[in-house]
Amino acid sequence: MKYILLTLLLPFLSVAQGIDFLQVNSLQEARAAAIKQNKLLFMEIYAPDCHICNSFKGVFTQAAVGALYNKNFVNYQLDIRNPANEMALKQAGVILNATPTFVFFEPKSMKIVQARIFGEKDNTVTMVNGIGSKAANPAEQASQFPKRLAAGEKNPGMLINYAQFARITGDTLANIKAMNAYIALLKPTQYSSQTTFNLMQVALMSHDNRLFDYFIRNLNYYNSIFDPSVVRMVYENIFQITLTSSRAAQLGEAGMMKLKSQMAKTGLDRSSIVRRTWMVESDMLFKQRNATQAMKVIDELINSMPGALGPKENQFLCDYVKGKTKDASALKKAKSNWCLYGTK
């Protein structure tokens, strides 16, 4: 009798359910589903071999997480190892720095309303539901970040959220503003904490702040308390971001000198530094109509190369100089040294 009664009741018993991820093959299909259901689109960007990503599987099955995400979002997981997905991310305006990254969209416009990079020990119901709740709340969405910062808000959580959002969307200026406001709240004793070190990995986009200055001055200490390979990844990423961001042209002479000095403190030799910085520096000088100094930077680059320039390198320098300046002396040098390569 008890067995019969239980069987009859089973269809009416509520079963705990985690996040219901949509089983489709593309971001566009997920977007269409979100539009149809009139919900925001949540996308977890992951890699199957990412151990941090895999650590979230248990959290995603929790009923409390499923209740929030299934109510407010159409949920989709994007495998970054698929080349087509890399293009989809680029079209969506997402710059991937690490996995897993959570991104929330308004599906009709594909405007990003919230975003967060997750790291070690972030795989908790509180953390996952925290960003989900912010995404679902218009007052906590990214469109409010500039207003809140301009109003002088000093909530560390908001500043970190803003900085991460800006890094994911490639907004260097917004990232610098948010990070500088957050760094101003830190005490020097917090610079080398695990929390701050994690933040440097996923949010920092500039070499020109007192946190990164401290980091570079104390690399030996950071190497002694953290994995040296991760320490190196941090400063390499910051150098790369600084030199490739839209604000690289605004470094100026002082900014370039500071960047080179920081590179030298990491142990990079002069030749390596020149090969990394020559294009930004020469471009800056050409824009300042200082072609003579810009050509000296190119000469230094050539002298730093381990061997003679080949056809591709010569053609590149020829086209580069011709595209950057109308200075007669610079063009004459380019023509006689690089543009005639292989024609003599």
Question: pLDDT tens for residues 303-339?
Answer: 998 888 889 999 999 999 999 999 999 999 999 999 9
Tell which residue, 130, 129, 149, 148, has the closest CA to residue 139.
148
> Under a CB-based contact definition with an 8 Å cutoff, are residues 248 and 242 in contact?
yes
Q: Partners of 105 in the beta sheet?
A: 41, 112
Give the pLDDT of residue 16: 53
Going by their DSSP bridges, the two strands 111-117 and 101-106 should be labelled as: antiparallel
Inter-helix orientation angle 270-287/311-324, to 10°: 30
- Integer Cα distance of 135 and 22 in angstroms: 19
Instruction: Tokens for 279, please give them.
Output: 């294009």
Q: Rounded to whole angstroms, how far apart are CA atoms 53 and 47? A: 7
Residues 108-155 pLDDT 10s: 999 999 999 998 788 999 999 999 999 999 999 999 999 999 999 999
SS3 at position 127: helix
Cβ atoms of residues 317 and 298 within 8 Å: yes
Q: Is residue 5 scored above 80 in pLDDT?
A: no
The C-alpha R_g of the chain, in whole angstroms, comes to: 25
Dihedrals phi, psi of 46, to nearest 5 degrees: -140, 170
Superfamily of domain 19-139 in the CATH hierarchy? Glutaredoxin (3.40.30.10)
